[in-house]
Amino acid sequence: MIIGKVSGAIHSTINHQFYEGKRLLVVDYLDKKGEPTGEYVIAIDTVDAGAGETVLLIDEGNSARQIVGDSMAPLRSIIVGIIDDIHCE
């Protein structure tokens, strides 16, 4: 699982039928200190996350496909939670 921050949304008029009705968000990866790493991913939103929110995402296709219940889904990344707070020592 990866921690990231939502930086935007993807809008398209033509896409694979699997993506119909699903929100696609741009998520910047964060390091242990909560700073952006410069890497990002486009992920399906399952928790109604918004821009600026810190999220927990899965960036591994098979795990993401298990969550949506479709073993053939053209899917790699999925947002599975909104993070309220992180405590590290």
Distance in angstroms (rounded) separating the CA atoms of residues 25 and 79: 9
Residues paired with residue 43 on neighbouring β-strands, in sequence order: 25
The whole-model pTM stands at: 0.90
Instruction: Return the domain boundaries, the chain.
Output: 2-82
Distance in angstroms (rounded) separating the CA atoms of residues 85 and 87: 7
Band of the pLDDT at 51, cuts 50, 70, 90?
very high
Backbone φ, ψ for residue 44 (5° rounding): -75, 135
Q: What CATH number belongs to 2-82? A: 2.40.50.220
- Which of the two residues, 21 and 89, has the higher pLDDT score? 21
Q: Is the pLDDT of residue 59 over 80?
A: yes
